[in-house]
Amino acid sequence: MRRKLVIGNWKMNGSCAGNSALLAGIIAGLGKVGADCAVCAPAPFLAQCRAELTGTPVAWGGQDVSPKQNGAYTGEVAGCMLAEFGCRYVLVGHSERRAYHLESNELVAQKALAALASGLTPVVCVGETEAQRDAGQGVAVVTAQLGAVLAVLGADDVANIVVSYEPVWAIGTGKTATPQQAQDVHKILRAQLAQKNAEAAAGVQILYGGSMKPENAKELMAMPDIDGGLIGGAALKAVDFLAIIHAAE
């Protein structure tokens, strides 16, 4: 049985004081939690996450990682740096990185490799745009995105990744895939993982992201291949984030 995983993606939001209040609220309301949970914070706040989350059930992670280990890459953050600040996870290939920073499937694959090399769990984000979905290309797009990552991973690496299906048309829009729509894609993604490593694929946490909220989280996570959520907007309010974590238990 896979444990559920709920990750908050803070995107480019937060301040030292605001983060402290948010994290304190999450920790206070968590109780004995039966699911994995984490927040992915902007890089400058990772030291704060380490200071305020160490010893709690909440893990933390970055939102992006360089494919390089070190060197003359101004503005980039290396996997070893994230690891040094205690990160467990790092998002790779979030649709906002793909759209605004023109990240290709191949670059995302290199980022996943770099994360693994630093002992981090890459959360490999895949998802189709509304236009791609309307053109009947949704499955081809997401399987090409995941396929590029699987092409560079060793079979043993499959056990060490998380996948997040995030239809771009559902991110920050209030539109959500129906549980069945999401499940159909998750099942395809798990079958694709199984082609690389059948045993590991059965244990990979495949998250859904895209306007997941307290009101729809339980229904989505009740589907057999939906193992949790990657949460944007609702992760910025302790009460909403907590409700989603508790819906995952």
Terminal Cα-to-Cα distance of the chain (whole angstroms): 12
Q: Which of 94, 96, 103, 246 is catalytic?
A: 94
* Residue closer to ligand PEP, measured from CB, 90 or 231: 231
Q: How far is the CB of 61 from ligand PEP (least distance, A)?
A: 13
Yes or no: say if 29 and 242 are a contact pair by the CB < 8 Å rule.
yes
Helix (H) and strand (E) counts in the chain: 11, 8
Q: Which of 96, 103, 128, 166 is catalytic?
A: 166
**What is the torsional sign of CA 219, 247, 208, 17?**
positive
* Residue closer to ligand PEP, measured from CB, 199 or 219: 219
Exposure class string for 29-67: b at 16+ Cβ within 10 A, else e:
ebeebebbbbbbbbeebbebbeebbeeebbbbbbbbbbb
Q: How far is the CB of 103 from ligand PEP (least distance, A)?
A: 15
Q: How far is the CB of 38 from ligand PEP (least distance, A)?
A: 13
**Encoded tokens for 233:** 């907007």
* Residue closer to ligand PEP, measured from CB, 53 or 230: 230
* Residue closer to ligand PEP, measured from CB, 42 or 68: 42
In the range 119-158, which residues lie near ligand PEP by CB under 6 A?
none
**Which residue's CB atom is positioned nearest to ligand PEP?**
232
**Which residue reads 């490999």 in tokens?**
124
Residue 44, classed as helix, strand or coil, is: helix
Which of 47, 1, 5, 2 lies closest to 23 in space, CA to CA? 47
- Per CB under 6 A, 171 contacts ligand PEP: yes
Q: How far is the CB of 79 from ligand PEP (least distance, A)?
A: 20
Q: Which of 134, 172, 224, 239 binds ligand PEP (CB under 6 A)?
A: 172
Cα(166)–Cα(59) distance, integer angstroms: 21
| Nearby residues of 207 by Cβ (< 8 Å), 6 or more positions away | 5, 7, 123, 162, 163, 164, 165, 226, 227, 228, 229, 230
Binding mask 73-112 for ligand PEP (x = CB under 6 A): ----------------------------------------
Q: Is 101 a catalytic residue?
A: no
In the range 207-246, which residues lie near ligand PEP by CB under 6 A?
209-212, 230-234
Q: How far is the CB of 206 from ligand PEP (least distance, A)?
A: 14
Q: Is 246 a catalytic residue?
A: no
Active-site amino acid positions: 94, 166
Residues lying near ligand PEP in the complex (CB under 6 A) are found at 9, 166, 171-172, 209-212, 230-234
